[in-house]
Structure 1
Amino acid sequence: MRAGAVVVAAGSGRRFGGARPKQFLDLGGVPVLAWSVRAFASHPQVERVVVVLSPERAGSPPDWLPNGVEVVAGGVARADSVRAGAEALAGVVDVVLVHDGARPFPSAALISRVMQSAARGPVVPVIPIEDTVKRVDDGGRVAETVSRRDLGRAQTPQGFPWSVLARTHALGDDGAWEVHDAFAMTDDAMLCERLGIEVSAVEGDPSNLKITTRRDLAVARWMVESGLIAAAK
């Protein structure tokens, strides 16, 4: 099995705010994105790594990216960026791991778990929800307490046979997964779900946080400074 990774980092980080996208901010002496990319570039079973940047940055990619990493330009939507990354791996790999560049700490064990399961079909890492979950109505009233037994929080990398990922996005070009309700398409596993393609779950990793807010970045920096996460080499 040949595996490749697509690290998506073309977003502008509007929710985070600031002049620079969050994936280029400092984390332990290197950019957040550098952590994400190195995790895959250093994994012994990942043969190719593609980083998807905005068209402006892809034209002059940062010099701190590891040797051998390919850079491609992304699109307006996340799906466009994933498609561009997957196309760069056409004919080269059997399995594609799609990862958010704003998740700096995917462990080698997590990458391996996803990769092994993805050989059989789409897979997403999930961690249990520990808090009590409430459903709140439009008026701000608690409507019910929801059982958390079957709920989990999805992470990346998400894994797919290359052929399945390519077919999913080809159907997307035909409008097969256009959204007509309140739920926006937030990841590729959701695209598969909408098309009736079975998606499996594997154990996620609580340390594999996503940097969305400034508080998240502060937590990530503490994880590095405290030694909870090994410093980047």
Structure 2
Amino acid sequence: MTEAPALWAVLPAAGVGRRMGSAVPKQYLDLAGRAVIEHTLDLFVADPRIRGVAVALGREDAYWGDTGYADHPKVMRAPGGAERCHSVLNALGVLEGRAGDDDWVLVHDAARPCLRVADLDRLIEALMDDPVGGLLGIQVRDTMKRAGEGERIETTVDRSSLWHAYTPQMFRLGLLRHALHDALEAGDLVTDDASAMERLGRAPRLIEGHADNIKITRAEDLPLARFYLQQQGRI
């Protein structure tokens, strides 16, 4: 009997968070008494389906050692890269030898601490037998404008087929590694994993999640994240 593919997680966490205007990288900012990245890791470490988590950290990261997951047996450290795509690829390299090419990898932003357990479950259940993989997202609700010169509206964009791309993004390890290598060799610094798959002609599946799966990029996002975690009963 063939063993079912395993699940692994990857967290690119080498960013410095310039838009936060803080000396501390956004993944280490205080959120209800703990670092943002600790809240993010909680779901993946606690999930028995996920065998391990590779966290890609900057070479001069001075904060990781103070987190509660620095010495956790389920968490592996990978070298961060110049861009997100480099960090993800490095983390996949750390998984090699432990994971197989057909295993699934869940790539999740370190600065998205409010992922719901129900959304993670929905994503995994929907994609375990999918030929490509996919990602969490939500359909665009606002009217969308394309700007032209001088920040003036050039046109209104039809929003009926537009989605906000969130994470986790779930793909087979071997295919994702190939997709990222292919993008980087072409000089394309893809900003998410689905984009790398799209370059290969694959069509990742969109799984609807919730809008509270926010990515912390600005100072005003922290109190909002705290509110969402309180609503979820996680703090």
**TM tier, shorter chain?**
0.7 to 0.9
Picking from 95, 113, 118, the partner of 1:109 is 118
1:160 counterpart = 2:171: yes
Which residue of 2 is the match for residue 25 of structure 1?
29
Unaligned runs of 5+ in 2: none
Which residue of 2 is the match for residue 86 of structure 1?
92
| Offset at residue 83 of structure 1 (A) | 0.6
Moved more, 109-118 or 14-23: 109-118
1:185 counterpart = 2:190: yes
Question: What is the identity percentage for the equivalent residue pairs of Structure 1 and Structure 2?
Answer: 36
Asked whether the equivalents of residues 145 and 156 of structure 2 are also in contact (C-alpha less than 8 Å), the reply is: yes
Equivalences for 1:112-131 in 2 at 5 Å?
Answer: 112-116=121-125, 117=127, 119-120=129-130, 121-131=132-142
Aligned residue for 2:174, secondary structure, equals helix
In structure 1, what residue type is equivalent to 2:79? A
Which residue of 2 is the match for residue 194 of structure 1?
199
Q: Per the alignment, do residues 214 and 118 of structure 1 end up closer, same or farther by CA in structure 2, a change over 3 Å counting?
A: farther
RMSD, matched Cα: 2.0
> How many angstroms apart in 2 are the aligned matches of 1:186 and 1:199?
15
> How many angstroms apart in 1 are the aligned matches of 2:54 and 2:121?
18
| Offset at residue 154 of structure 1 (A) | 0.5
1:15 counterpart = 2:26: no
Aligned residue for 1:214, secondary structure, equals coil
Asked whether the equivalents of residues 22 and 32 of structure 1 are also in contact (C-alpha less than 8 Å), the reply is: yes
Task: Report Cα offsets for 1:47-72 as digits up to 9, x if no partner.
Answer: 11111111123896334114421112
1:215 counterpart = 2:220: yes
Moved more, 18-27 or 84-93: 84-93
> How many angstroms apart in 1 are the aligned matches of 2:136 and 2:8?
17
Which residue of 1 is the match for residue 7 of structure 2?
3
Asked whether the equivalents of residues 2 and 92 of structure 1 are also in contact (C-alpha less than 8 Å), the reply is: no
- How many residue pairs match? The answer is 224
> How many angstroms apart in 1 are the aligned matches of 2:10 and 2:183?
18
Q: Per the alignment, do residues 59 and 155 of structure 1 end up closer, same or farther by CA in structure 2, a change over 3 Å counting?
A: closer
1:77 counterpart = 2:83: yes
Aligned residue for 2:149, secondary structure, equals coil
Moved more, 139-148 or 195-204: 139-148
Q: Per the alignment, do residues 103 and 71 of structure 1 end up closer, same or farther by CA in structure 2, a change over 3 Å counting?
A: same
| Offset at residue 198 of structure 1 (A) | 2.1
Q: Per the alignment, do residues 214 and 62 of structure 1 end up closer, same or farther by CA in structure 2, a change over 3 Å counting?
A: same
Unaligned runs of 5+ in 1: none
Which residue of 1 is the match for residue 145 of structure 2?
134
Asked whether the equivalents of residues 183 and 190 of structure 2 are also in contact (C-alpha less than 8 Å), the reply is: no
1:230 counterpart = 2:226: no
> How many angstroms apart in 2 are the aligned matches of 1:107 and 1:221?
14
Which residue of 1 is the match for residue 44 of structure 2?
40
